[in-house]
Amino acid sequence: MMGSLANLYESIENLNETYIQPNHTKATLLKPTPPPNLGYSSPLMLLNHAPAPTQKMFYKCSYCSSSYVSEDPKAVCPGCSSTMSRNMSYVAPQQEGSGEGGYVKGVVTYMVFDDLVVTPLSVTSSITLLNRFNVEVNALEEKVVNLGMDQAIKLLKASLQSKTVLTDVFLEDAVGCKPKVEETYAGSLD
């Protein structure tokens, strides 16, 4: 695969399951399945249509005040022999990061490299990276970027063509020049 998009997929494959939000899996991102009869042919179009996490239904007796619960609304109450058909609302325990949207837990910071390799950020990985490239801490500069639809489209295009995606998209505006992106076309001109 040309560009850097394969690195993004590989980063998701290599990400430990502990970083994934409860009720989600890496497979939702790596192998999205279309809802029936939508006709999407591209997996990129499916991310907004990922299946919602399934919620279990529980039932209790409608006639007595027993504390029995069932997953089957046709189950018989052991206390009074009536059906356990009264729907109950399940409240999940509050988990760190689970109130946020997305697929990964929000309490973790991630490092995204220019070639779209993504790794969880830690002090050790940061120091290792700085040492590997002989970068001094005082030489680092923070850059905050706004990500709108135009930048998202530029990111997608650059991820298919370049190994320096973030530089190509976000430093273009800062430097004031258009980055050099090699384009390759296949096919014939008729």
pLDDT at 150 over 80: yes
Query: Is residue 126 in a domain?
Result: no
Query: Is residue 68 in a domain?
Result: yes
What's this model's pTM, rounded to 2 decimal places? 0.55
What mean pLDDT is predicted for residues 22-51? 64
Q: Per the structure block, which two tokens stand in for 139?
A: 């030489």
Query: Is residue 75 in a domain?
Result: yes
Domain that holds residue 85: 57-89
pLDDT at 181 over 50: no
Contact 154, 140 (CB under 8 A): no
Query: Is residue 150 in a domain?
Result: no
Query: Is residue 4 in a domain?
Result: no
Query: Is residue 70 in a domain?
Result: yes
Query: Is residue 188 in a domain?
Result: no
Domain count of the chain? 1
| All residues at 6 or more sequence positions from 102 whose CB lies less than 8 Å from its CB, including other chains | 21
Contact 114, 122 (CB under 8 A): no
pLDDT at 66: 85
Digit-coded pLDDT (tens) for 90-132: 776 655 444 566 788 777 888 888 899 988 888 888 888 889 8
Query: Is residue 61 in a domain?
Result: yes
